[in-house]
Chains A and B, each alone.
Chain A
Amino acid sequence: MAKQFKSLHPTKFYRDYLNQDIRPDGRLVSKFRPVIINIGSIATADGSALVRIGKTTVICGIKAELCPPKPEKPNEGFLICNVELPPLCSSKFRPGPPSDLAQITTRFVADLILNSGCINLKDLCIVKEKLVWCLYADIICLDHDGCIIDACLLVLLTALKTVRLPVVQYDAAIDKKTIDASVKKCLNIYNTPVSTTYAMFEDKIITDPTTEEEEISSGLLTVVVKDKELCSIHKPGGSPLSEEKLYECINETVNHADLLITLINTAVSECNDDNKNC
């Protein structure tokens, strides 16, 4: 019976639940879903991670390649990150060019990584004006159940922390590159921006919404923090939000960020224990 009611009156169904201060999946309004981080699962990538937030699953693999730098920035490498929402992850997406949501997420994540300064592109320089690293970070969603930006950011940062680059010797005179794969170096990550998403439903703010909740909500809000400071806010339209409520969300994110960062660091340090040569 509940199933039929849900498909006929999704909003009313949901409102009834929220009036009892509980959500259909049994969570409280301000409760986060469990997060699982798995690292180094892809051997063909130079750094990789898998993140699950509830049912949302994203995987990120980083491939390192060599290339000459741009003439206007001779001592900077590249970090190219793309978010892919393939038709595999949800029936909302169709085969073909990336959907609008994929493009928006790609842009948001890419800008955030550059602006937050968590990675210094100058670290990726091997020989000025001649040779730099180009890191291709491809984030692929395997199961789309809400909060895609949070998952993408989390997986990207974790994957970046697992990247190991071999040492390159470059002889500019004869354009010869030699790779010493026995010694591998980590990348310096200067800070860890993490985000949480909120959905607005009538007068309530719902934390960490699922796809269903995102769809019936009147607006979304993503808050990004790093080092206990606000880093970015992404609110693509939707119903207005009072200043008070916004502060509440930011505080909640700051509190939750500690947990996420500890989680990343635990996962990464376990990996580092395994291969000490780093």
Chain B
Amino acid sequence: MPTDNKRIAGPEDSISYRLFKETSNESVLSKINNLKNNIRSDGRKTNEQRKIFLKCGVVSQAKGSAYFEVDNTKLIVSVYDPREIPKKTDYSLKGELFCIFKYAPFSCPNRRGHQQDAEEKQHSAIMKRALESAVCRHEFPNFQVDVYVLVLENDGSALSGAITAAGIALAQAGIPMYDTITSATLAIQGSTKLLDPTLEEEALCTIATHKSDTETGYDSHGIIVLAILSTHEQISEFYQLGNLNLDTLNESISILMNATKEIVPLVEKCLVDYVNKTFKANGQS
């Protein structure tokens, strides 16, 4: 690991105190069992999303920006003017999106580094793929639009939130788009499908468990992120992790399609509110 002499580095071997908290293995299993019986720790129904707060125009310096909050998941997205693609020799007919997804160092239970790690890079790539099919890229050939995401606090479903928020920020920035883009996350443990999982639920759904105490076979588990262009019914990104069979996947697609459609009115309202506000402000001056 090369030393980073542009920041102040801490001691090499510091570890989070949370690791020394007393946690028993049993509690994890009982939590998973609760999930399998459709009981969520925050009392939600399995197909219930958390309340979403959306606001655009939060960063004054940016062309477009949005803030997204569901309970404890908080993130901010900003979009800047198109600029020429750096270090590019040949001409590209289609413009590009440049996405950076970053967790703030203090946003997760364990501290994150300042530089993007593999997971953040992967999330950036997923966002890029999801957003590129929503943007009319032929309108700005040989240019790139920068999309920056910073997760201030992560309590699950951060990636899907980032995609939804980035869609709003792009729209506010006046980047030509085909459609509004919305996204949702589903976590699966056994036969339970949890919409909009919290961080704890996400962690529990990456653990493979046995079907029951007597059987040795493993149960389904996994996480799915789906992004959709709602008017055109086009899936712009589908990303799945874990271990699932075909039937579960098919069911999940239906659940996620509905969930993403529920978010569309919120996105539209957020943008309409912004337009109204700007009109009023312009009318006064």
Interface residues of A (CB under 8 A from B): 41-45, 48, 55, 57, 59, 61-68, 70, 78, 80-82, 84, 86-91, 95, 97-98, 102-103, 106-107, 110, 134, 136, 138, 140, 142-145, 166, 168, 177-179, 181, 211
Evaluate contact between B76 and A134: CB separation under 8 angstroms: no
Evaluate contact between B17 and A136: CB separation under 8 angstroms: no
Residues of B within 8 A of A82 (CB): 7-8, 114
Chain B: minimal CB distance from A151 (Å): 14
Question: Complex Cα distance A94/B15, Å?
Answer: 31
Cβ-Cβ contact count across A and B, 8 Å cutoff:
142
Which of A57, A66, A136 is within 8 Å of B105, CB to CB? A136
Question: Complex Cα distance A183/B77, Å?
Answer: 37
Question: Complex Cα distance A90/B146, Å?
Answer: 12
Question: Complex Cα distance A61/B107, Å?
Answer: 8
Number of interface residues of B (CB under 8 A): 46
Interface residues of B (CB under 8 A from A): 4, 6-11, 13-18, 20-22, 58-62, 72, 74, 76-78, 80-81, 100, 102, 104-109, 111, 114, 146, 148-150, 152-155
Evaluate contact between B100 and A142: CB separation under 8 angstroms: no
Evaluate contact between A61 and B106: CB separation under 8 angstroms: yes
Question: Complex Cα distance A89/B102, Å?
Answer: 13
Evaluate contact between A44 and B109: CB separation under 8 angstroms: yes
Query: Could you pull out 5 A-B pairs where Cβ atoms are within 8 angstroms?
Result: A44-B108, A80-B8, A88-B78, A91-B81, A179-B20
Question: Complex Cα distance A187/B107, Å?
Answer: 21
The 5 closest A-B pairs by CB, nearest first: A61-B106, A67-B14, A88-B148, A45-B106, A65-B14
Evaluate contact between B11 and A78: CB separation under 8 angstroms: yes
Residues of B within 8 A of A97 (CB): 4, 6
Q: Which residue of A lies closest to B199 (CB)?
A: A44
Evaluate contact between A68 and B106: CB separation under 8 angstroms: no
Residues of B within 8 A of A80 (CB): 8-10
